[in-house]
Structures are given as C-alpha cells and as structure tokens.
Structure 1
C-alpha cells in the first residue's frame, strides 16, 4: 500500500492507494469537541473512499458526539436501537465483571444461540412479557421432547438451561433500566416452566468388568506416538482423578518425583473467537485451577511420573530433530503449544464405542477413580481434597452411588451391632 500526504481544505489528509488501485482517504486526529465530563478535547480518525464522503462523515461524527452527550466516558458510546445493541452493551460490561472464561463462553452461547436470534431485531421497550413467555414455553417443550427420546445430549437450541437463559435476559433489561432509560423489565412476570426429569440413567463409571475390557484394549493398541500419548492420558486420569484440562496444562516442573505427586495449580480453557476484533478461538492456560480448592497435590504411582517424564523427553527429542524449541509441557502439540482436548475426545469416543463401553468423555476416568478410592476405603474428606472440590457436599452428591462394593456395608454394620446386643 502506498501512502501520501495531501492538503484538503487546509487539513492534512492521508491518501492510501492499494496495489489493486483502490483509494482510501484518512483524516487523523479530527477534533470532535470537549468532553462534557472531563473537559478534555476528543479526537478521532475518519476514513472514506472519496474526499466528499470524508467531509460528510466528519460532519456526522461531530453531530453524533454532541447528540451522544458530548462524552466518551459513559456507556452512551453504545448506540442502542435494537435489543441486540442492548445485549452487546450488557455483555461488554459483563466481561469486565467476570473472570471465568467458561462462564463467558456459556453466556456468549446464550446470546448467540438463543437470545439474539429470537429478539435481536426487536426495539427493547416493545418486547412484552407474552413474547418471552411463548418463547420460553417453546424452549421447554423442545427440551422435554429431547428427554422423552432419551437423548443424552440435546441438539443445539434445545438446552435444558432455558431458565438460566431467560434470567440472563432479565439481567439485560435491568442493565437497560439502569443505563439507558428503559422503564420496564418484562422478564419479571414470566414464569419459567419446570424441567422434566430425565428418564434415562447415566452410567458415569467403569466398574471392574468394564475396566478390564478397557485396559486390555489400551495394551493392544499399536505403539505409535499418538497411541502412546492417548494411553498415557487415560492412565494418568485414572490414576489421579485429574480433570482433562488440568492434565493437559501440566509442565514437567509440576511433577514431584521425591514425593511421588503431581502439583495441580492451573488449567486450560477455551477462549471463544471475537470476529468483530479479528480474534480466533484459542486454548489458553489459566494460571489457577477451576476453583481455589482445585489447587492441590495429588499422589500417584511413581510409574505414572516416570511415563510422563519419558513422554516429555520423547516430544523434546522430536522438537530438537525438527529445529524447534524445547517445551516444558508434557502434552504439547507438534508445534509446542497447549493441546486442545477436542481431538483426543473424538478418539476416546470412537474407542469406547468400539469396546462397547459408555461414552461419557474423559470425566469417565475421574468418576472411575473416585469409585475405586471409595471402594478401597478412602473417606469422604480425603476424596474431597483429592478431587479438588470446594465442599464435601459436592463430593458426596457426585459420588454417593459410585461405590457399589460398599452398598452392603450397612447390613454388615447392622448385623454386627445386633450380635453385640444379643450375646
């Protein structure tokens, strides 16, 4: 691109000519006026394809600045004409308040999949309670049908959290009342239909007979690097109870060989794309675990640590042979970056189905680990710490039914007490 300075009506304008001959004009530091809140001058850059258009856009920018309250230090920089505009203004503020990428991803999905497609083109103060009630009733019916058909995972647009979606819509209206002069929140009088109970029991654990099948299957896989990595991921999850993204975030410095343990202090998260900012979706490492309680030390068999060390060495040998920098990660990509679990998840699903085992993702091994620990006699407090749960209630609610070998213990305790009392 070729850039030259020209004078236009006594002002310096930059003329930019692309290789294909396209011309664009840019006026930099255009004075809009004094900010009504700070008293400081406000300037901006304006671009256009012709000089005449540049003049018109300059006049419009000054007019919009005055109409917008002559300030850039409030939310009035957002022009609210549709509910989509209001939702985006709310989400901009929401991003500043929330640090969890998983929460941001979930709420962004609420907006993009449900709220904006349904109400994005509406004028905010024209949305009535009946509009929202009919919509949420439809969402509830779709989910109800999904449950009746026994689907383990509902199709996109039929999510069970329709109640949370409507509540977020209520938050958007409250934001509009506080910041943009809306006078009502139609969500307040909407009744959210109750969720139907799933009629399908979900098996989330591999018991002994299934575990034997799975371990034999892993041992018989061809000895490729991809298979070695897959097997090591499964074995480590089963031995430690780690979450998959805690495992993929590990570096070689997180392994404590002296005490035979893994230090869990971070996790990987998926950060959604932001097309409007030119940003693609990416895996990032969050320098803290899922919860504060997730920051923990997990004891594992020494053989697991040795296998993790060996695979780390194998990957760095690959990097050296290909002229790449060494990586501290245990499970890096072939470029040395953090690895996304999506590809391995697809492989896991395929192989569980081949074995005739339930497909519940990598959390299957975390649940199986908990079941093994309970059956071996570990108490609930120990398991809570090992699994990285914030409260023991979470541990008990999640794993109360994952120890079938212990179900008969109540009868044994009762009989023992009766013998003591009678003899």
Structure 2
C-alpha cells in the first residue's frame, strides 16, 4: 500500500503507459509455457482433411503474394501470414450464435464439450482424454468431469434394475426351455457334428420343430 501511495504521475505513466501514437502492440511467437502444452493430437479424419485443404489454399496464397507474405510457419494465420488474435475467433463465433439463436458461450466452452463427448464415447477412459485436453494430471480430469462418470454409473444402476429386479427383457421360461430342448440322437449320428449344429440357435430351433412333428 505504501508503495502505491508513493507513486506519482510520472511513475504510473512508466509502469502503465497511456495510449500514445508512439506506442505499439507487439506479438511474440514462442513455445508454450509448459512442457505438457506441447503434445500430439489425434484428429478425426474429417478435420485432418480440412487442414490438408487449408494448407493447399495457404500455399497458393504464399505463391501469389511472394515476399509480401510473412511466413512464420503458422497453420492458422492471416491472409498475409501474420499471427491471429483471439478476435478472429470471437467475432465469427458471436455471429454464429446470433444467426442461429444459440445459447451464448465462449470459445473455451468447446474444450469442455470435446472432453465430455470423448468420455461418453470411450466409456470414461480418462487417460486417453487427458492426452488431448492437456491436463497435466489424470486427477484434474476426474475432478472436473466426474459428473460424466456419475451419469454413466447412474445409467448402469438403471439397467441393472430393469434386468434383475423388474425382469425386463428376461424370459421366465428360458431355463425350462433349455431343459426340454433335448433332441433325440441316433447312434449313427456324429456327436461332434451335431454339437456344432446345435450351437446355432436357429438350427437348434429347427431341429426341435422337426422332432415335434415326428412324434
């Protein structure tokens, strides 16, 4: 607090320069701040094809512009090769939301959506999702997305209730039928061949029907 009080106008100007025509914004290209941020991402085939098409367009633009193209070896860049700011995403996203009357979200929300869908699709394989999401530790994914796993566990409980307590999709006579589904076997029939035939439910049912008609 004492240091803040001691600051006079010129000090504040030096620390927080006001807008001035001599001031300019500079973007610095460097590696990510942490080692875990440098990672390999496996893309869906459709997304990979989009990047291939974009690379073709980018190479064509480089050839057209020649020395005017500032090549920083960026995948996503402006028409002249310059780095893009977050406004390049926020603007189109805002327009998309307004045009289709969608719930307002920020672009970072798509990261959460991606993790959520992947956990649903792979049955809760947290380690696999961690590699794409960039979380340093597995427990970070567990802490943030544990509700997804809880939903699956809740669904499992419902399926268990239906199958074992409400007895949905269960035939009460299934065991009785299995006991009475014995087919008479003649001495000249190959037991091994018959076992293979009876392993097929459709063939077993057909043989049972034939046996009943022969009685």
- Bin of the TM-score, shorter chain as denominator length: 0.5 to 0.7
Q: CA contact under 8 A between 1:320 and 1:326: conserved in structure 2?
A: no
Structure with larger RCO (C-alpha < 8 A, sep 6+): 2
**d(CA) in 2 for partners of 1:358, 1:83:** 47
Instruction: Show the counterpart of 1:299.
Output: 42
Instruction: Show the counterpart of 2:157.
Output: 411
Deviation at 1:373, TM superposition (A): 0.6
Instruction: Show the counterpart of 1:310.
Output: 53
Q: CA contact under 8 A between 1:298 and 1:386: conserved in structure 2?
A: yes
- Give the structure with higher Rg (CA): 2
More helix by share: 2
1:387 to 123, 133, 138: 133
Deviation at 1:287, TM superposition (A): 0.7
1:373 and 2:115 correspond: no
Going from structure 1 to structure 2, the CA distance change for 1:406 and 1:284 (only over 3 Å counts) comes to farther
Deviation at 1:418, TM superposition (A): 7.3
Going from structure 1 to structure 2, the CA distance change for 1:330 and 1:410 (only over 3 Å counts) comes to same
More strand by share: 1
- When the two structures are aligned, how many residues end up with a matched partner? 157
Q: Which sections of structure 2, spanning at least 5 residues, go unmatched? A: 166-215
Deviation at 1:326, TM superposition (A): 6.8
Output one character per residue of 1:8-56: Cα deviation in whole Å (capped at 9) or x when no partner: xxxxxxxxxxxxxxxxxxxxxxxxxxxxxxxxxxxxxxxxxxxxxxxxx
Tell me how large the CA RMSD over aligned residues is. Answer: 3.7
Output one character per residue of 1:261-305: Cα deviation in whole Å (capped at 9) or x when no partner: xxxxxxxxxxxx8868x54233332312x5332221111123322
Going from structure 1 to structure 2, the CA distance change for 1:301 and 1:320 (only over 3 Å counts) comes to same
2:107 to 352, 362, 366: 362
Instruction: Show the counterpart of 1:280.
Output: 24
Q: CA contact under 8 A between 1:284 and 1:338: conserved in structure 2?
A: no
Instruction: Show the counterpart of 1:350.
Output: 95
Deviation at 1:414, TM superposition (A): 6.0
Deviation at 1:351, TM superposition (A): 1.0
Q: CA contact under 8 A between 1:384 and 1:395: conserved in structure 2?
A: yes
TM-score (norm: length of structure 2)? 0.57
**d(CA) in 2 for partners of 1:320, 1:411:** 61
Which secondary structure state, in structure 1, belongs to the residue aligned with residue 41 of structure 2? strand
Instruction: Show the counterpart of 1:16.
Output: none
**d(CA) in 2 for partners of 1:319, 1:343:** 20
